[in-house]
Structure 1
């Protein structure tokens, strides 16, 4: 099936609409004093399942299963996954504040929530949008590189929707997500499977969110970042971009 610009734009606008609606609904709940950590996580899990399911259906409908890393082919070069899981886990661990008291229910919900984030974000960005872009550019080596870079930038821009970290924090978040997007996109193309990326994504998010486990949502949604912290955060994630570019240069040319 030939991919048209219409497919790419429709799915991108769907993502934008979905994420905006999710954010607006979450804010509405806070405005009517529904502030429970568990309640909000259950809602987000449900919405992430919807996004992951829609993304999988779109990937199947548009014949993106192979390009999107959803086929049963044997994963390639899994040792290349060692750097991202160790580096990102340690990086997020560095920025952890004190971990508050939490219940077993809080912990289980957080684990499920992070797994749902991994599925929803990786399926939508890496298993649908990236292969759509690659096929649009005719699946050549240059096409794969363009697809990785463009989908990564979209991934970064979508992180601006919540706008809860102040202007410096949002710019830092843009760089953070884009750099990781380049690395994850390259890893998808090289390893040919999305599921390892889903696992890494879930683990990294779990570590990053441990310091807010069990806390009322209102106490965690707005966390502005100063300029110095934003610059440091961006520089610390720069190795993700460098590693992604290394993968593109050294491994993608060798693929069929």
Structure 2
């Protein structure tokens, strides 16, 4: 394995970066999860993170959003340092970041529309009328306008994930983080959700970091793709080249495993 883990690729100039990650180390006790990660993500870019289970992908997303603390290195989002942020600054970073999880995390006792409107009203101080108007527009954007008054248990997995995306967009984020948003879905529902993510990026030109193994989606939307293994960057390249002509043998083995799964 050690021979496969190459030096991280050259990082673009910091002046172009919306997300700037430098030499980040993260561990849980004696277990090291991230080992010297350095990445820049430009405004409007879509970065796809790939890798085997336990390689640090989800942890990296949580570190970007300040949900996990790092032991060494630096992370900045929109020019604000995450690791040194006070409570107010960290709150601003989180409010400007939409996070979509693989298990939806919708409030089960609220309708689809209520799930979308509660945060803008309670956190941003948006009036109920404005929040409802915006919520219905977002439901239409993700193809769920007819499900406004339906509860999560009455929705399919793909429908719940589309509501979760609308809920994240309701906070008007400048960054979207997706943690394997289709892993709990069957193939047809996966494509529904991936189409919504494509649409969101096309309409908003939003910066995104997406943990996914969906090769077709990554080729069509991602600017770059990156393979993590054992908390290190194995390979990084423009998405199409990454998936069609990877340089590292470890990447080739990983992609063969996905295709043959």
The TM-score normalised by the length of structure 1 is: 0.26
Q: Identify the structure with the greater strand proportion.
A: 2
Looking at secondary structure, tell me which structure has more helix per residue.
1
